[in-house]
């Protein structure tokens, strides 16, 4: 089975490379009165709510950028496409956005496979992908990740958990290559480094909805904590975990206000690690949450402390647009050289706090937050572990 999985991943990378290699892109997009940002994310399928939230946050950021005079004095507009959670569709739409629509950069992807597809096309187009998710620490000259890298999230979180929760862990994860090859080995290495022990790991393909057998196994081995990485339907997983009455502390980078609201009491007490939560007490975050609530009041009935829920992915998409606008202003253009110069100088006050780009690591200098779901389904920041310099994996 391992050989087949590796074969599929190699085939995917081959498909990505062939598709990108056949594209004839101009070296730069000519200057115009309007700057276009491409949105490419899952607007349909299992992750549609994430993609739609990203699109909403991009729209909010662009409206604020234009109200403040645009990006380097130029109006910004969005060209949006649905990735459909398909690698082939993502490749085709990324090529359209860069080649036909002339976007300065793309943001919005959620899955690592989407990231890699867009990135291959961005490299051929000499453009940027601004990836609004946490990841394993992927580095590439055409990539900027606005979420946490593995060394900013998993590593310090395991350190915190071994000090504050316990030493034994069980992992339940979606079966994707980055989790198997990087994320979970990093967790295990750090856990053992601090005297802990991994009691078991169970992987599930996307689409799994019955976690009963593994939860029975968790009850049997009774670890101090369960680290969960069920990415396609964490709501179902959390509800089942709660229904089993399990005592181990559930910890995850996949808990936020939307999941807490959707799962009601099932999420209370769960601990997460993230770059942002709605409760972050900064003027920029208060304005961001209030602005989103006013503009998208009808988007979802889910609320956190009276505000429309916003996924961390959305804040990261918002940050991507603000960083791009600042890079255009500082660099004086939208070609690769100008943007690289601009990103190298850009520092902004994001909703989460001050962030700046580390070009060498393709990530941001940003804080790492530990959050805990409260009884009202809001998430309180209970510890700050950063800022931590990002590193490449």
List of residues 6+ apart from 125 with CB closer than 8 A = 23, 25, 98, 99
Q: What is the pLDDT of residue 380?
A: 97
CA-to-CA distance for 304 and 318, rounded, in angstroms?
19
Backbone angles phi, psi at 47, to 5 degrees: -105, 25
Say if domain 151-279+369-384 classifies as CATH 3.40.50.300: no
Q: Are 154 and 393 in contact (CB under 8 A)?
A: no
Domain(s) of CATH 3.40.50.2300: residues in the chain: 2-148+311-365, 151-279+369-384
CA-to-CA distance for 130 and 134, rounded, in angstroms?
12
Backbone angles phi, psi at 330, to 5 degrees: -75, -35
Residue 18 has pLDDT above 80, yes or no: no
In CATH, the number for domain 2-148+311-365 is 3.40.50.2300
Peptide bond into 387 cis (omega under 30): yes
| pLDDT tens readout for residues 167-182 | 999 999 999 888 899 8
Angle separating helix axes 184-193 and 154-164, nearest 10 degrees: 40
Q: What is the pLDDT of residue 197?
A: 98
Give mean pLDDT, residues 21-47: 71
CA-to-CA distance for 49 and 83, rounded, in angstroms?
13
* Average of per-residue pLDDT values in the chain: 92
DSSP state of 97: I
Span of 1-15, 48-62, 149-163 with lowest mean pLDDT: 1-15
Its pTM stands at 0.89
H helical segments located in the chain:
2-21, 48-67, 87-95, 112-125, 154-164, 177-178, 184-193, 212-221, 234-243, 257-263, 283-295, 312-331, 336-345
Using 50, 70 and 90 to split pLDDT, how confident is the model at 11?
A: very low
Q: What is the pLDDT of residue 32?
A: 52
| pLDDT tens readout for residues 191-209 | 999 999 999 999 999 999 9
In terms of Cα–Cα distance, which of 117, 156, 299, 140 is closest to 148? 156
Backbone angles phi, psi at 243, to 5 degrees: -65, -25
CA-to-CA distance for 61 and 387, rounded, in angstroms?
24
| pLDDT tens readout for residues 303-335 | 999 999 999 999 999 999 999 999 999 999 999
| pLDDT tens readout for residues 260-314 | 999 989 999 999 999 999 999 999 999 999 999 999 999 999 999 999 999 999 9
**Between residues 29 and 373, which one has the greater pLDDT?**
373
Q: What is the pLDDT of residue 141?
A: 97
Angle 73-75-78 (CA atoms, 0-180°, nearest 5)? 145
| pLDDT tens readout for residues 339-357 | 999 999 999 999 999 999 9
Using 50, 70 and 90 to split pLDDT, how confident is the model at 111?
A: very high
Q: Are 271 and 370 in contact (CB under 8 A)?
A: yes
């Amino acid at each position: 089975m391992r050989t087949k999985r590796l074969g599929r991943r190699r085939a995917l990378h081959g498909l990505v490379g062939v598709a990108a290699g056949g594209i004839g892109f101009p070296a730069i997009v000519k200057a115009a009165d309007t700057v276009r940002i491409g949105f490419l994310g899952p607007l349909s399928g299992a992750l549609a709510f994430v993609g739609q939230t990203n699109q909403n946050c991009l729209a909010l950021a662009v409206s604020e950028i234009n109200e403040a005079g645009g990006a380097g004095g130029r109006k910004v507009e969005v060209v949006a496409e649905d990735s459909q959670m398909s690698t082939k569709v993502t490749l085709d739409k990324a090529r359209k956005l860069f080649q036909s629509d002339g976007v300065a950069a793309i943001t919005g992807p959620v899955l690592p496979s989407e990231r890699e597809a867009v990135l291959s096309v961005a490299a051929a187009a000499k453009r940027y992908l601004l990836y609004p998710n946490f990841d394993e620490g992927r580095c590439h000259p055409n990539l900027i990740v606005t979420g946490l890298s593995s060394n900013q999230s998993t590593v310090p979180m395991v350190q915190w958990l071994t000090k504050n929760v316990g030493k034994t862990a069980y992992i339940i994860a979606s079966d994707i290559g980055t989790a198997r090859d990087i994320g979970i080995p990093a967790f295990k290495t750090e856990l053992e480094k601090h005297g802990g022990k991994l009691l078991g790991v169970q992987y599930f393909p996307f689409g799994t909805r019955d976690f009963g057998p593994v939860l029975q196994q968790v009850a049997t081995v009774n670890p101090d904590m369960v680290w969960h990485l069920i990415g396609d339907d964490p709501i179902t997983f959390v509800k089942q975990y709660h229904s089993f009455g399990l005592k181990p502390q559930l910890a995850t980078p996949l808990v936020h206000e939307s999941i807490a609201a959707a799962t009601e009491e099932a999420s209370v007490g769960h601990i997460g690690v993230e770059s942002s939560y709605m409760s972050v007490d900064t003027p920029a975050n208060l304005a961001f949450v209030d602005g989103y609530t006013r503009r998208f009041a009808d988007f979802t009935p889910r609320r956190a402390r009276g505000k429309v829920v916003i996924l961390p992915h959305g804040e990261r998409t918002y940050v991507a647009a603000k960083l791009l606008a600042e890079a255009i202003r500082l660099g004086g253009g939208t070609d690769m050289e100008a943007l690289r110069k601009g990103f190298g100088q850009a520092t902004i006050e994001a909703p989460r706090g001050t962030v700046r780009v580390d070009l060498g690591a393709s990530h941001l200098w940003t804080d790492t937050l530990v959050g805990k779901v409260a009884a009202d389904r809001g998430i309180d920041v209970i510890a700050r572990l950063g800022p931590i310099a990002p590193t490449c994996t």
